[in-house]
Structure 1
Amino acid sequence: MSINQYNATRAPEVPDRFENPGLEEHLPRLTDVDPAANKRAERIVVLLFTLSILASIGALVGYFALPLDNTVGSVRISTIVLGTGIGLGMLGIGVAAIHWAKALMNNVERVELRHPQRSDDETREVAAQMMVDGVNDAGIARRPVLKGALAGAAALAPLPILVPLVGNLGGDWNVSKFRHTIWGDTPEGTYGTLPDGSKGRRLARDPEDTPIKASDVTIGSVFHVIPQGLTEGQPDYYEEKAKAVALLIRLDPRVLKERPERADWSYDGIVAYSKICTHVGCPVALYEQQTHHLLCPCHQSTFDVADEAKVVFGPAKRPLPQLPIAVDTEGYLVARSDFNEPIGPSFWERLK
């Protein structure tokens, strides 16, 4: 079929321009014609804002009335109360705003032609007046109860988020909190004796809490380790474990790049580093055996295990802290001391 034959079979040509049909006829809502319905809609909006206020207050009360005691149950209950309060608080504001807009605000469509240049003064005055009319249509000025409910809900809604954030972090970001972990402690039954007579906390598999012999660690293998004897139910268990978690890796000793002062921090290619990323504290747990790189899955900070866990890529600004290790007289791996510097994000550096 030729192009001319094809065009002949098409429908009649569509005109270049259509007649402007204009806006659809505006249908008034029940709240526009019935004062009782209007008042009822206003009460519903106030009720939703009030529920938001009560939910926010409930979250704050729960935060202070249900302190954490380092047990799974207390963490679960506190999280449920805070999450429910914050969720209902935000939901109440959102639903109230939607109902306010759909039932009370002016819903008449307006059309304003756009001009490529500055409008004349008369047009600008009309536009400004339209904005004033929009505020008046919202009913804020003539609805003091509604305005008060909105202000109260908006003021209280952020508090269940901000108060726990400030309360939990305000006093902890200091050097001492991050410099000391329980790797430096040697309670009875958790340490091994080195040939020189000194003691060191034994490395144990997480979560089995079984000590690790150097002979158990083959080249390329990775162990998630914690100090032996750290078990659930002990005081500050979660906090201490969060600071002490480490990765134990064995490399070919020939690829290690160690400074002379760190020559006794490893054992026959076995090294241990903090598992907490120095960027924002995510767990660094992805090991690439061929490149000897550790990857943080959160923001892709990459550390070279063969070169003292130095940063080779990503936003982290300092290497992972190293845990000096040795082998005791029974062949078990032990920590010679605590990490060589504070673990985790580098916030502590700003406080020096």
Structure 2
Amino acid sequence: MGEGNDATVLSREAPPVFASTVPADGGGMRLDRWLTAAHGGHSRSRLKALIEGGALTLNGAPETDPSRRLRGGESVRLAEPPPVDPVPLPREIPLTVVFEDDAVIVLDKPAGLVVHPAPGAPDHTLVNALLAHCGDSLSGIGGVRRPGIVHRLDKDTSGLMVVAKTDAAHKALALQFGDRTLHRTYHALVWGVPSPARGEIDAPMGRHPTQRTKMAVVTSGGKAALTRYQTLRAYGSTALALVECRLATGRTHQIRVHMDHIGHPLVGDQTYGRRNPSGRGGPVSARRPPPLPPEIMTRLIGLPRQALHAVALGFMHPTRGEPMHFESRIPLDIAEILATLETLQNFHSNS
């Protein structure tokens, strides 16, 4: 599956012009499959779209059929059009940038910031902020000048995210996400103390059967979901715990659903955290309060978002091949609650 000795590539990441001769061993291959291996800068789906859009010539003539079988010896030229402007508008929204270069940007997202534009949040999102921050340094993801979102955080989850700035970086990070070599670690404050103190939650997830805006552990039709957890600290004997979660998969609301599934919903979770801290069902109420002072309970129940923070992120740099690791401190709203819990003398560790 050679590239041809006379190939001309102006930029290995996303060449605006790619020219090559199909070698003899390329004979019999589909055009889009051969181009994906020879080009190296885009995904097959992106190259297929470029072919269908008229960006490629074969022996000097336009070729728009990605499935065309090659004979070997053909002259191939792909001229990629410049990326178009994004539909979302750039917005000057403050960002906490942890790391940035030509390929990626690592951010510490605050709670309350939506990642993607949606009907309820059309333009004050992380994507809008990145368009303003990055400007022309975005070389185009799928032909559009936009940031490449590899993984998401819920609106009310804070912490570290990596975003691709080029199509090649997006492709490389997506592969790491798919083969589970992009590592993400979260800290969560949950009701009750998990037993055992560490373990795995291997439970497939899908849409809730009756509440379609929610996710749930399902018995059929779901996708594999695996969360590894360990208890870092127990508070009030069995009232609360600070839990570290590592994701082996990346399902929507995975940690929130999985921790609720084992009877330990996240403090502050307005969607999945309505069960009693004992894990026996029913809303948090004065009828069966956990053994905590009333002023602490008021703060816990009043937390306006789930107590979940992405504390660590690790991946291989998509162009340099170097391991990258980043850490983030627990934000103030959760840190203040944890500090208050630590002052109560009847709390002890669960190590």
Question: Under TM normalisation by the shorter chain, which class is it?
Answer: under 0.3
Higher normalized helix content (fraction of residues): 1
Q: State the TM-score, normalizing by the size of structure 2.
A: 0.19
> How does the TM-score come out when normalised to structure 1?
0.19
